[in-house]
Chain A
Amino acid sequence: MPTVGVKRDFLFKALGRTYTDEEFDELCFEFGLELDEITSEKEIISREQGDSKASGASDVILYKIDVPANRYDLLCLEGLVRGLQVFKNKLEPPRYRRVSPDSGGPQRLIITKETAAVRPHAVAAVLRNITFTQERYDSFIELQEKLHQNICRKRSLVAIGTHDLDTISGPFTYTAKAPGDICFRPLNQTKEYTATQLMSLYRTDSHLRHYLPIIEDKPVYPLIQDSNGTVLSMPPIINGDHSRIRLQTKNIFIECTATDLTKAKIVLDIIVTTFSEYCAQPFTVEQAQVVYPDGKTCIYPELAYRKEKLSAEFINKKVGISESTERIAQLLTRMCLLSQPTGVRDEIEVEIPPTRPDVIHACDIMEDAAIAYGFNNITRTTPPTYTVANQFPLNKLTELLRQDMAAAGFTEALNFALCSQEDIADKLGKKISQTRAIHISNPKTAEFQ
């Protein structure tokens, strides 16, 4: 379960009220979150490195909240607040729109054929006239990190790059070049490095070294450049320092390169929907055009709203409640699934927003209805299933034998199934191939092979 750390007071400010720890814990329980820990930066450092190192750190109370693994929209403070506010009926689910730029054409990202060998897909979008504060900026960076760890499977499936649009100029090219041909000044460095040098440089970096194997052995490395040849990033490793985002940045160009296109689209949608609330025109995202090697083009972000129809009876039956069609529509709307009765019998039309990629079947919608109703409000009933039980014959015999073996004076031992090669072959003077043991390819210790 991913854990999101938020500053408690900021959270309460955004929610519009304060809660006691117990009240907030209760709210999390209802919604499906878990308030895992209440701590502060100081406490964390103190615990990990000792009190002396913690003396200058912040005392600000942090809530560590566990979020279900499939809710990418709740991975930062903004997402949590939005989810909870809509849940408590304090906010209407926002409506996200993709817009064209005020003047000129959309930003273009041209993919060349070389990328096919290493990281074929890319999507892009623009956040226009955004205003950052230190907290929003930190949250923006954190969200990317959380997405990288989760749905992006540690950047191997998708890698996110965000850039200050005012420092670069399109059209942008997404290509792949030999490591020796890549040279740029990466984030937080003062001089230029070739890609080969960067691989050595980051080998000792505690954060980045885990991502090196994703492209290390490939003949070409992915590279994104602008029309002047300025390097935006070398995914999935590091961005260029030139286009780094600052507090004052107003326009952001976001690119996601990937080996899985579906996930790239989801990731892009999540980032833009979450932070578009800080744009001058809230909840709008400026489109970008991606050009494929074969000339085809595609506009992103998708921001697709999908509609699905289901009946109130379906929900009532599956959950075990009996609510009216209107009421169910209201329950679903509280979960950010905007719903309306269509007027045809008990049919409801549900709109699934781009922030809910976890909803892929009507049963996901049904679960949300149940959560909004409150699991603990559902009446429990006994299934009328009549069955006659049978014991598995092997187990039945085992149970009988156990009893009598113990009565005969033997003590039952419970051993591990996993053992080492030494124990069953070498130490007994046998060849391992003669035993009919199965072998594990990835044991954690030599004890269990």
Chain B
Amino acid sequence: MYNRLGGSSMADTGVVETLLQRIEKLDGGVDSLGVAASLGVDHQVIVGAVKSLQALGDVISAELRSSKHWELTEEGIEIAEQGSHEARVFNSILLEGLPQAELMKLSFGKIGFSKAMSNKWIRVDKSYEGGPRIFRTVESIEDQVREKLLLVKQGNAAQLDEKEKNELKKRKLLTEVTVKSYWITKGSSFSTTITKQEAELTPEMIATGSWKEKKFKPYNFEAMGVAPNCGHLHPLMKVRTQFRQIFLEMGFSEMPTNNFIESSFWNFDSLYQPQQHPARDQHDTFFLSDPALAHEFPLEYLERVKKVHSEGGYGSQGYKYDWKMEEAQKNILRTHTTAVSARMLYKLAQQEKFTPVKYFSIDRVFRNETLDATHLAEFHQIEGVVADKDLTLGHLMGVLHQFFTKLGITKLRFKPAYNPYTEPSMEVFSYHEGLKKWVEVGNSGVFRPEMLLPMGLPEDVSVIAWGLSLERPTMIKYGINNIRELVGHKVNLQMVYDSPICRLDS
């Protein structure tokens, strides 16, 4: 009904003009329902006419009114024609009565029976031979229900009082219908002729000057435009881009993490994580069946790692267990990007002269854990590493503060924690204004000497590191509660289309 940019249709135009004429005649105003009735058209047609007039400016003024009136339901119509169920029941019972079983077969039998009983129009003789039999108790009846319905049908619903109407409503014979109609009066620029509004300004109009006499359709700035075809970036990747930016801004270089597969040696052993550690279990790590083992290792370094695990050294007691080569050779899907950090630090240690470095990586890791709303088998880890002489725990806290400030987080607290490859270890907590409590936002620590010294790094070099997951801040930022709605092939692409730009610091 609402007119679009085109203009009114042919049929409507006739109605519109008639409507205008009516309004002119009846100075006080007209009711749309009344007009519809007298013109013999559907009310909606009049509504359409009203709306198209409204679009032209102040030709008319239409006030929306709603009125209620009563109408018969379908069942009500049936009763108005044929009589109420109870009356029909009464009329079907002849002088000799009617077996109850037979009555119940009739369509109006059940309801009619109970109503007629309560009106005391009939009675049942249960002990009759051949089954219960129904008899009339009165000579004749007045079908009041039918009469009331007929009144409503004729438009005289007002003659019934509220109680009667509500009763019939309860029986689902009447409904109250709300009708919206318009009370239409003349507007400030009323005229009985409608001039078609122009939708476009053409060069001809300008050239001939005819635009001065034309009326132009006003622009509707409220209308939704046509969405342009565009591409979309995945929100998790958008967040990744932002984190990458942050690291680059802080002078961190990106580590080459383009290897999902790692040997247990680099993923665990070189990090001083013992071979019996639960994280190396079948339950937590994905082991490969093909290719199953890695074979290339820097052998001298490997020997030093073996020694520090089994016997100690470099000031350490060691773990004192039998270190097995076969364990270290097992290929796995890496469980953390720290494996790459280990490779990088080893490479750094092989340099002639030590240079301080700052590394980062954001890439995928794999854990064989139980899956739930916040855990998947694969996710992304963010890691930052700083290696320099004489770094302290205070420096680690300083770097963390700088990093998290770029995320808009300024209130941090640190808690002692435990990681097999860092000592000291700290869990990083930030204050969540919404939840009004401290929540963990990351894990950090200083790498153990048993990890760094076998690599060949100088003794006064300390390496501090921290990490967090990429999915968690993304889910918080984009308000997603189930990780499966964010990552993977079962994601609703609409989420990707609708996700806003990623601004981490606000």
**A interface list, Cβ under 8 A from B:** 29, 31-32, 34, 68-71, 153, 157, 260, 262, 306, 317-321, 360-364, 366-367, 370-371, 375-376, 378-392, 394-395, 399, 402-403, 405-418, 438-445, 448
Residues of chain B within 8 A (CB-CB) of A376 are 413-414
The answer to whether B333 touches A440, judged by C-beta atoms less than 8 angstroms apart, is yes
Q: Which residue of B lies closest to A444 (CB)?
A: B368
Among B29-37, B49-57, B95-103, B228-236, the one that faces the other chain is B228-236
Contacts of A414 in B (CB 8 A): 234, 236-237, 487-488, 491
Shortest Cβ gap from A102 to chain B (Å): 34
Instruction: Evaluate contact between B291 and A412: CB separation under 8 angstroms.
Output: no
Beyond A392-B253, A416-B378, 13 additional contacts (C-beta under 8 Å) are A153-B278, A262-B319, A319-B424, A360-B312, A360-B318, A391-B253, A392-B255, A394-B256, A405-B231, A413-B493, A439-B289, A440-B286, A445-B371
Residues of A contacting B: mostly? loop
Complex A-B: 19 CB contacts under 8 Å: A29-B413, A364-B423, A366-B424, A370-B393, A371-B424, A375-B393, A380-B395, A381-B397, A385-B356, A387-B356, A394-B258, A411-B496, A412-B232, A414-B234, A414-B487, A415-B489, A438-B290, A441-B292, A445-B371
From the candidates A375, A402, A439, A442, name the one contacting B415 in the complex (CB within 8 A).
Answer: A375
Cβ < 8 Å to A, chain B residues 347-387: 356-358, 364, 366, 368, 370-371, 376-378, 386
CB distance from A352 to the nearest CB of B (A): 9
Name the B residues within 8 Å of A384 (CB-CB).
388
CA distance A69 to B138 in the complex (A): 92
* Contact partner, A383, options B276, B286, B321, B388, Cβ 8 Å: B388
The answer, yes or no, to whether B458 is at the interface (CB within 8 Å) is no
Q: Is the CB of A411 within 8 A of B423?
A: no
Residue contact A441 to B278, C-beta cutoff 8 Å: no
Partner of B232, one of A153, A411, A418, A440: A411
Q: Are B282's CB and A413's CB within 8 A?
A: no
Interchain CA distance A318-B413 in the complex, whole Å: 19
Q: Which residues of chain A are near B257, meaning CB under 8 Å? A: 392
Q: Say whether B358 contacts A389, CB under 8 Å.
A: yes
Q: Which residues of B contact A318 (CB under 8 A)?
A: 392-393, 446, 462
Total contacting residues, chain B, CB less than 8 A: 92
Q: Is B106 interfacial (CB 8 A cutoff)?
A: no
CB within 8 A of B423: which of A34, A361, A381, A382? A361
What residues of A have a CB within 8 angstroms of the CB of B312 in the complex?
A: 360
B398 proximal to A (CB < 8 A): yes
Q: Are A406 and B233 closer than 8 Å at their CB atoms?
A: yes
- Chain B hits for A390, CB < 8 A: 253-254
Cβ of B315 under 8 Å from chain A: yes
The distance in angstroms between the C-alpha atoms of A416 and B320, with both chains bound, is 39
Question: Could you tell me the distance in whole angstroms from the C-beta of B318 to the nearest C-beta in chain A?
Answer: 7
Which chain A residue lies CB-closest to B257?
A: A392
Residues of A close to B377: CB separation below 8 A: 416, 418, 444, 448
**Cα(A391)–Cα(B450), bound, Å:** 30
- Tell whether, in the assembled complex, residue B288 and residue A441 are in contact, meaning their CB atoms are under 8 Å apart: yes
Indicate if the CB atoms of A70 and B287 lie closer than 8 Å.
no
Of B121-129, B142-150, B155-163, B244-252, the one touching chain A: B244-252
CB of A320 within 8 A of CB of B394, answer yes
Say how far B345's CB is from chain A's closest CB, in angstroms: 15
- Residue picked from B255, B368, B370, most chain A C-beta under 10 Å: B368
Known contacts being A388-B251, A408-B231, A442-B368, is A319 close to B393, with CB within 8 Å?
yes
Assess the B415–A32 pair: CB atoms within 8 A. Answer: yes
The residues in B between 56 and 86 inclusive whose CB is less than 8 angstroms from any CB of A are none
**B457 interface contact, C-beta 8 A:** no
Q: Which B residues lie within 8 Å of A443 (CB)?
A: 286, 368
Query: Is B418 interfacial (CB 8 A cutoff)?
Result: yes
Structural contact, B491 and A439, CB atoms closer than 8 A = no
**In contact, B237 and A412 (Cβ under 8 angstroms):** yes
Residues 424 to 460 of chain B near chain A (Cβ within 8 Å): 424-426, 446, 448-450
A382: contacting residue among B282, B370, B402, B425, CB under 8 A: B402
Beta-carbon contact of B446 and A363 below 8 Å? yes
Judging by beta carbons under 8 Å apart, are A402 and B233 in contact? Answer: yes
A392 to B417 alpha-carbon distance, docked (Å):
32
A361-B316, A385-B358 as given contacts; A260 in contact with B276, CB under 8 Å:
yes
Is B388 in contact with A385, judged by CB distance below 8 angstroms?
yes
Residues of B within 8 A of A371 (CB): 416, 424
CA A378 to CA B493, docked complex, whole Å: 47
CB distance from A235 to the nearest CB of B (A): 18
**B418 touching A317, Cβ below 8 Å:** no
